[in-house]
Amino acid sequence: MNYITKINYSLFSNGTTGQTIAKNITWQFFGTFSNKLLSLFLIIFAARILGAEGYGQFTFALAFASLFVVLSEFGLSDIIKREFAREGENKDAFCAILSLKLVLVFLTFLLIVAVSMLTIDSSKIQLLVLIIGTFLLMNSLIGTAYSYFHAQQRMEYEAWLEILQMVLLVSLGLFVLFQFPSTQNLSYAYALSAAITLVVTAVFFSIKLFPLRLRWDIVVWKKYLTMSLPLAFSAIFAIVYSYIDSVMLGYWGLLEQTGWYNAAQRVMLATLLPMGFIASGFYPALSKFSKDSKEHFQKKWSQELEWMIIIALPLVAGGILLASGIILFLYSTEYAPAILALQILLLTAGVNFLFRPFYDVMIILNHQNQLFKITLLGVLMNVILNFILIPLYGLYGAAAATLVTYSLLLFVTMLFVRKMTYIRLPLSRIGVTMLTAGVSIYVMCMGLRYLLLSQVHILILILAGGVLYTGVFFLFRRYIVQTFFKEYYV
């Protein structure tokens, strides 16, 4: 097998389970990393050019619209991934679901129009909400195709389309910011990039897989809505505790603090990229093994949890240490108040890494109803904490409320998975992994502290931290763990 054949097999074919998972993670990394990197690049310019207040208006509109756009999703994405991964290709069912999504998108748009007119005094921000809402709704339709790609384990298709949309968005966005800078014009750039990508996605899907068409099938709608209903409520609650802090900050007139908070949140979301790569890579295989083999399911899930721990710990520790340099490098001294908020949100990111494998297990093993109850608990906790903490501490109260909420969700979800499923925590493996990661983090932090004293550039610090952690981790694991703890690591 020559190199070209090997590359083609590794990146464009679905062979063994391990190779397919590796291929999926590779494409997820390539597509999502490029997407988020370019997105962050655009956001940095937007934050600098529009200023904290202008950027705060934009992020308030984004948060406000996001509270409603989740209704157009209605939990269908995860159900599509699960069901079509199990059952294979079903053209009629997918076209029926796509038709259902069009109805949900239309109804959601009407809801955004009505609520924004009733609750927002500024006509400028009302228009901003409608434009951003249109952008998000078109992305929801695009995401339906992406969910089918996931189910068929064709993440490369999603990667290509994600990169196309982000190149369009950054090109249009930078043109607007430098030639016609305003929050409204930037929102038009977002909407136009989504519209073009939606058309390209529909054409691409029809050529590569099968022609898309409208199909009004009430039976299919009822079947999938019944399965997705608990997830829909869970998603609504998750969106509420993801965006309610920004909405409350903006609604109470703290638009400058909204800008600071979202500047920190953008960095935190960037650290979650590896979590998405890993989860998306494992999800189709776990869905398949949930029907075929409990033993293989447990093994693959344990591997997913281990990788989450390996990546989460250095991101949190290194991020907290370098938070000041990151904020000042990406934005400006105007955003210095975002530093502490970022440090709190990075702890939330670490909790998210651990939470994701348990969340996926509950969906794959059909515990949507219980997940609904857990997320309801989370949203109630988050709203109460935001009402208490934001008036007292502003953006820092919002960050603390998010951290407490996700910590509670992790604790309750772990208890449920342990008691109500056959999944068991690989305690020995987790212990050894955390020991190895802890030693590696200690060396990494000592090295970073030394470099900080030497006033090394932040990009070099980030690169050096990654190299130090990775090198020490694999050396320690190879020569110490495999010698003294091998029996616990099987």
Q: Which of 61, 57, 185 is nearest to 129 (CA)?
A: 61
Predicted structure pTM score:
0.68
Domain ranges of the chain: 16-425, 426-490
CB 109 within 8 A of CB 133: yes
Residue 419 buriedness (CB in 10 A; 0-12 / 13-18 / 19+): exposed
**Structure tokens, 145:** 């195709």
Q: What size, in residues, is the chain?
A: 490
Q: What is the pLDDT of residue 53?
A: 77
Q: Which of 75, 180, 201, 89 is nearest to 138 (CA)?
A: 201
Q: How many CB atoms lie within 10 A of CB 129?
A: 26
CB 244 within 8 A of CB 383: yes
**29-85 tens-digit pLDDT:** 666 666 667 777 787 888 888 887 787 788 788 878 887 887 777 777 777 777 776
Please give the single-letter amino acid code of residue 462. Answer: I
From first to last of the 490 residues of the chain, give the pLDDT tens digit. Answer: 555 555 554 555 555 555 566 666 666 666 666 666 777 778 788 888 888 778 778 878 887 888 788 777 777 777 777 777 666 556 788 888 888 888 888 999 999 888 888 877 777 888 888 999 999 999 888 888 888 887 777 777 777 788 888 888 888 988 988 888 888 888 899 999 999 999 998 898 888 888 888 888 888 888 877 777 766 676 677 667 667 777 777 777 777 788 788 888 888 888 887 887 788 778 777 877 777 777 878 888 888 899 999 999 999 999 999 999 999 888 878 888 999 999 999 999 999 999 998 988 888 887 777 877 887 888 888 889 988 998 888 889 989 999 999 999 899 989 888 888 888 888 888 888 888 889 999 999 999 988 888 888 888 999 999 999 999 888 887 766 656 555 554 4
Q: How many CB atoms lie within 10 A of CB 456?
A: 14
CB 153 within 8 A of CB 20: yes
User: To which H or E segment does residue 190 belong?
Assistant: helix 183-208
Q: Which of 351, 371, 350, 349 is nearest to 360 (CA)?
A: 371
